[in-house]
Amino acid sequence: MTEQQRTVAIGNGQGFWGDSSRGPVQLVRGGGIDYLTMDFLAEVTMSIMQKMRSRDPDLGYATDFVTQLEQILPECIDRGIRVVANAGGVNPDACAAKVAEVIDRLGLKATVATVAGDDILDQLPTLAAAGHPLENLNTGEPLAEHVNRVQSANVYLGAFPIAEALAAGADIVITGRVTDPSLTLAPLIHEFGWTEADLDKLAAGTVAGHILECGTQSTGGNYDRWRDVPDLANIGYPLVEVDESGDFVVTKKSDTGGLVDVGTVTAQLLYELGEPTTYLTPDVVADFTSIQLEQVGKDRVRVTGVTGREATASYKVSVSMTDGWKTTAQLTVGGPDAVDKARVTADILFARLAEEGVTFDEADRLVEVIGSNVLYDGMLGSEAAEPTEVVLRVAVRSQDRAAVNRLGAELASLLTSGPPGLTGFAGGRPKASEIIGYWPALIDKSVVTSDVAIQEARA
């Protein structure tokens, strides 16, 4: 990457819905980026948003986005920083309407665009009748028999519809379900004029997006060498500086904490990675084994050599559906023989439930004694000294809501009719909560149409 080449700087200020509101402010403050991306969506998030919309047609999006945008929008407009976010969830129009209210309230001039077409929930019966079975990628079972339980069904769209919105002049692009890297790839397609034939460049932009998508995981968050990461309290959100060739540098703002080195970037590259030669997206198939990393300065890692292949003819579809009920209960167990007491307590609990005919298959119940090496059982080579206090955690699931609630009701009796040293029940009885099951599937791209809508610039 030479100094003469034009670069586009993109920072990601949200890794998930619930991430810190510090990220967008930190990246926008003082400039230094051309685009701010904000990634809010995960599979379970879509079902939550669908429930929100079913209760209120004006909801179904990441409400945090609107409040965060209000904090940064004046400086974004002043500095020409454009915002791309998948905050629209299952209701991009409602999200855009709230953003428009913010723009009007602040007296700003900005153009908002939405990208939709990913939500195929209402089309499921028609698609099945037309010969699109939406088979579960894990089991091969067609979706048709389970349609009545479906909560949400969303196609993972790619980057080109977002780039279309940017080309139309949008200052803020709000999408529904798109692939996470698309938020980063789209500005690069727009700025550099990349086409569907520029496979290596699209792959490079996809890798850049993958590095950014989880927020501070690429700048030292959730990192195994955490002791080497300076000032985690002020950890910097990541940004990439990309040139037209697709080569880019991963970095962060110099006045922030955290760390950007080959190790942190590698850790994020491996995050949620399946077959490394075949990273599938709607726009390209990226080969992660082609990636070359080089430390080129303090908190600066250069990424080069990325190659890509033509994308497949299918989109991935994320379907969520109701799948029974679950609950988790816990007690603190203290004193001598704490581990044994905890395990006996769990045995007593299930034995008493069985007397009433309430049983759970082995696969539908979990007993953990936290403090007895639960997370790394059999992996550390030696057991720690016997603890004198542990937490007993019991979880169950069932299609029978009453059975799940019965566990919570029985738990309290153990305080006076179980082993000594039990406490920690002040929170009350745990209640059954609905399980949202995940159904991954594929659908032919020919039956999905993206929808880009541009609002006129507001005042």
Residue 262 predicted with pLDDT over 50:
yes
Write down the pLDDT at residue 429.
86
- The closest alpha carbon to 371, from 394, 393, 387, 395, belongs to 387
Q: In the chain, what is the straight-line distance between the N-terminal and C-terminal CA atoms, in Å? A: 40
Q: Write phi, then psi, for 171 (nearest 5 degrees).
A: -85, -30
Mean pLDDT within 241-249: 98
- The pLDDT value recorded for residue 56 is 94
With beta carbons less than 8 A apart as the criterion, state whether 114 and 170 touch. Answer: no
381 has a pLDDT exceeding 60: no
**Confidence at residue 458, expressed as pLDDT on a 0 to 100 scale:** 67
pLDDT over 50 (residue 215): yes
Segment 176-193 mean pLDDT? 97
Instruction: Map tokens 């850790």 to a residue.
Output: 267
The mean pLDDT of 387-410, rounded to a whole number, is 94
Checking if the pLDDT of 3 tops 80, the result is no
Predicted local confidence at residue 46, as pLDDT: 85
Strand spans (E) along 26-104: 35-38, 82-85
Flag whether pLDDT at 383 surpasses 60. no
* pLDDT score for 315: 97
- Looking at this protein, which amino acid is placed at residue 269? L
Contact 161, 452 (CB under 8 A): yes
Mean pLDDT over 177-205 rounds to 98
pLDDT in tens, 60-116: 999 999 999 999 999 999 999 999 999 999 999 999 999 999 999 999 999 999 999
Q: Which of 307, 298, 395 is nearest to 346 (CA)?
A: 395
Q: What is the pLDDT of residue 45?
A: 87
pLDDT given for residue 377 in this prediction: 63
In order of 36, 206, 248, the CA distances from 301 in angstroms are 20, 16, 8
Question: What digits encode the pLDDT tens for the residues 282-317?
Answer: 999 999 999 999 999 999 999 999 999 999 999 999
What percent of the chain is modeled with pLDDT above 70? 95
3-state secondary structure of 428: coil
How far from chain centre, in Å, is Cα 429?
30
Q: Are 66 and 99 in contact (CB under 8 A)?
A: yes
Q: What does the pLDDT average to over 321-327? A: 93
DSSP 196: T
Give the model's pLDDT for residue 378: 60
- Which three-class secondary structure string do you get for 333-402? EECCCHHHHHHHHHHHHHHHHHHCCCCCCHHHEEEEEECCCCCCCCCCCCCCCCCCEEEEEEEEEECCHH
Contact (Cβ atoms closer than 8 angstroms) between residue 152 and residue 121: yes
- Residue 21: pLDDT above 50? yes
Question: What pLDDT is recorded for position 2?
Answer: 46
Residues 6+ apart with CB under 8 A from 170: 82, 111, 112, 113, 454
pLDDT by residue (tens digit) across 52-69? Answer: 988 999 999 999 999 999
Which of 394, 306, 274 has its CA nearest to residue 343?
A: 394
pLDDT band, residue 1 (cuts 50/70/90): very low
Mean pLDDT of 148-168: 95
The predicted pLDDT at position 428 comes to 78
Q: What is the mean pLDDT of the segment spanning 400-421?
A: 93
Q: Considering the entire predicted model, what is its pTM? A: 0.90
Joined tokens for residue 72: 């940064």
Identify the structural domains of the chain with CATH numbers, from first to last: 7-118+156-312 (no CATH), 319-439 (3.30.70)
Q: What are phi and psi of 127, to 5 degrees?
A: -65, -40
For the segment 372-382, the average pLDDT, to the nearest whole number, is: 61
Which residues make Cβ contacts (< 8 Å) with residue 332, sequence separation at least 6? 389, 390, 391, 392, 422, 423, 424
Mean pLDDT (the chain) is 93
